[in-house]
């Protein structure tokens, strides 16, 4: 008999997906039937992701517009935006420093030779882009025709358009209350559809994890086990120690209470490797389970899914030092500072979709003269590492919403007392 709780069904689906992947993988008893099983898993997993993407763009747009518009006082809107930005920058900076520290302490890459990856390097042509060109492209991506951005799913541009429209609704006041009401209803409809889609979550997550376990190149993983362990360990340290500690110090919310409320979103993020696809689930957990006000959640979470990438920033910093060690290049403090800022910029500009960090990884390598062809070393293991860092990315968004709510409420308290007296 299946458990009634959605969280329990999702965890059961994850366990069955991992077990199925082990049975289908090389040497498993079902290896001979791998073709049909993987095809069915791919079909089901793609269906689940496509259904989430179905509501992604309208949900992001409506959530941010409504979230900004509901912050009716200009001063409050400014304070929420300022607090959110400071929190995102702070946690990404801490994540990058943890990545650097772990890479220096455990020194992954020693004993490995680039020659063992010659074939992969020959078969992959990394896209190279100088830093000025990347910045120009990043800015162009932020400011686009809103209809084009909505039609093509350009999330960063949609966020910018939504921010401007939300601010305009605040400035316009009651004149535009009908438009605000329409957008609120659009958001509610999207969340209703999300509730329907989540009934398929256990099956979709099982299918995605089955593909992941069955198709991974285990021989290459064994060769890079040291690097994988360092990245996963440091990412989990950031997600299990640093973020919960910040949350507890600011809000008093215990890690156990947070993980209970965030579990559904974290499992979905781990399985999909996409903070954008997980966004509907993240919003649901933040509002319904963690009890963040809708105005705050609708602003912080969609914005965080686009610009707050703690796990990605940590990974890119550690991977750059890993590649430098393989190439025999000793990076000084200046080069590491360049990596620090470029990794943050690359993480901010990376859409929340699986393995997109590879594109910004090229930017990080080229910024300090590292061989961009070496990115082929990271491709076979990226899908595994992407699961963990995406879960931490999503965790950072939910922690941020709780922190922002607490800090803005604390700032409002003295004013309320003064007004009452």
Whether residue 75 is contained in a domain is answered as yes
Pairwise pLDDT comparison (289 vs 359), residue with the higher score = 289
Whether residue 134 is contained in a domain is answered as yes
Which H, E and C letters describe the chain, residue by residue?
CCCCCHHHHHHHHHHHHHHHHHHHCCCCCCHHHHHHHHHHHHHHHHHHHHHHHHCHHHHHHHHHHHHHHCCCCHHHHHHHHHHHHHHHHHHHHHHHHHHHHHHHHHCCCCCCCHHHHHHHHHCCCCCCCCHHHHHHHHHHHHCCCHHHHHHHCCHHHHHHHHHHHHHHHHHHHHHHHHHHHHHHHHHHHHHHHHHHHHHHHHHHHHHHHHHHHHHCCHHHHHHCHHHHHHHHHHHHHHHHHHHHHHHHHHHCCCHHHHHHHHHHHHHHHHHHCCHHHHHHHHHHHHHHHCCCCHHHHHHHHHHHHHHCCHHHHHHHHHHHHHHHHHCCCCCCHHHHHHHHHHHHHHHHCCCCCCCCHHHHHHHHHHHCCCCHHHHHHCHHHHHHHHHHHHHHHHHHHHHHHHHHHHHHHHHHHHHHHHHHC
Whether residue 417 is contained in a domain is answered as no
Pairwise pLDDT comparison (135 vs 30), residue with the higher score = 135
Percent of the chain with pLDDT over 90: 24
Whether residue 84 is contained in a domain is answered as yes
pLDDT, average across residues 145-159:
80
Q: What is the pLDDT of residues 21-47, one digit of tens each?
A: 888 876 656 556 677 888 888 888 888
Predicted pLDDT at 33: 65
pLDDT of 60 strictly over 70: yes
Q: What is the pLDDT of residues 73-127, one digit of tens each?
A: 445 567 887 888 899 999 999 999 999 999 999 988 776 555 544 443 343 333 4
Predicted pLDDT at 20: 85
pLDDT of 49 strictly over 50: yes
Domain harbouring 210, CATH code: 1.10.3860.10
Predicted pLDDT at 352: 54
Predicted pLDDT at 126: 39
What residues make up the domain containing 189?
6-410
Whether residue 46 is contained in a domain is answered as yes
Whether residue 418 is contained in a domain is answered as no
Whether residue 416 is contained in a domain is answered as no
* Count of structural domains within the chain: 1
Whether residue 178 is contained in a domain is answered as yes
Pairwise pLDDT comparison (3 vs 49), residue with the higher score = 49
Q: What is the pLDDT of residues 283-300, one digit of tens each?
A: 999 999 999 998 889 888
């Amino acid at each position: 008999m299946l458990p009634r709780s959605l969280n329990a069904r999702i965890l059961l689906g994850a366990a069955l997906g991992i077990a199925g992947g082990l049975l289908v993988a090389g040497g498993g008893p079902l290896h001979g039937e791998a073709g049909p099983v993987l095809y069915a898993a791919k079909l089901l997993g793609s269906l689940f992701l496509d259904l989430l993407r179905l509501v992604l763009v309208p949900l992001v747009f409506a959530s941010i517009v409504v979230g900004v518009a509901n912050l009716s006082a200009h001063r409050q809107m400014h304070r929420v935006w300022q607090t959110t930005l400071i929190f995102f920058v702070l946690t990404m900076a801490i994540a990058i420093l943890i990545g650097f520290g772990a890479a220096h302490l455990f020194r992954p890459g020693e004993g490995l030779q680039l020659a063992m990856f010659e074939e992969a390097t020959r078969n992959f042509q990394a896209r190279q882009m100088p830093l000025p060109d990347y910045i120009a492209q990043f800015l162009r991506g932020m400011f686009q025709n809103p209809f084009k951005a909505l039609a093509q799913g350009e999330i960063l541009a949609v966020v910018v358009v939504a921010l401007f429209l939300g601010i305009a609704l605040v400035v316009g006041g009651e004149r535009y209350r009908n438009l605000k009401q329409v957008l609120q209803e659009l958001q509610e409809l999207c969340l209703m559809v999300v509730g329907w889609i989540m009934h398929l979550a256990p099956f979709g997550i099982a299918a995605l994890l089955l593909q992941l376990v069955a198709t991974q190149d285990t021989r290459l993983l064994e060769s890079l086990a040291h690097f994988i362990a360092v990245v996963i360990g440091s990412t989990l340290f950031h997600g299990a120690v640093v973020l919960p500690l910040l949350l507890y110090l600011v809000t008093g919310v215990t890690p156990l209470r947070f993980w209970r409320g965030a579990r559904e979103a974290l499992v979905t993020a781990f399985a999909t490797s996409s903070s954008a696809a997980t966004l509907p689930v993240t919003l649901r957990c933040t509002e319904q389970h963690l009890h963040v006000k809708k105005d705050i959640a609708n602003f912080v979470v969609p914005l965080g899914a686009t610009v707050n990438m703690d796990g990605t920033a940590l990974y890119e910093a550690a991977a750059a030092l890993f590649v430098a060690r393989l190439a025999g290049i000793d990076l000084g403090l200046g080069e590491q500072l360049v990596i620090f800022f470029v990794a943050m910029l690359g993480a901010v500009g990376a859409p929340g979709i699986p393995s997109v960090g590879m594109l910004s990884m090229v930017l990080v390598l080229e910024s300090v003269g590292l061989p961009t062809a070496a990115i082929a070393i990271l491709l076979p293991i990226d899908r595994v590492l992407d699961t963990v860092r995406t879960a931490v990315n999503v965790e950072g968004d939910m922690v941020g919403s709780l922190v922002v709510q607490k800090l803005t409420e604390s700032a409002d308290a003295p004013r309320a007392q003064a007004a009452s007296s």
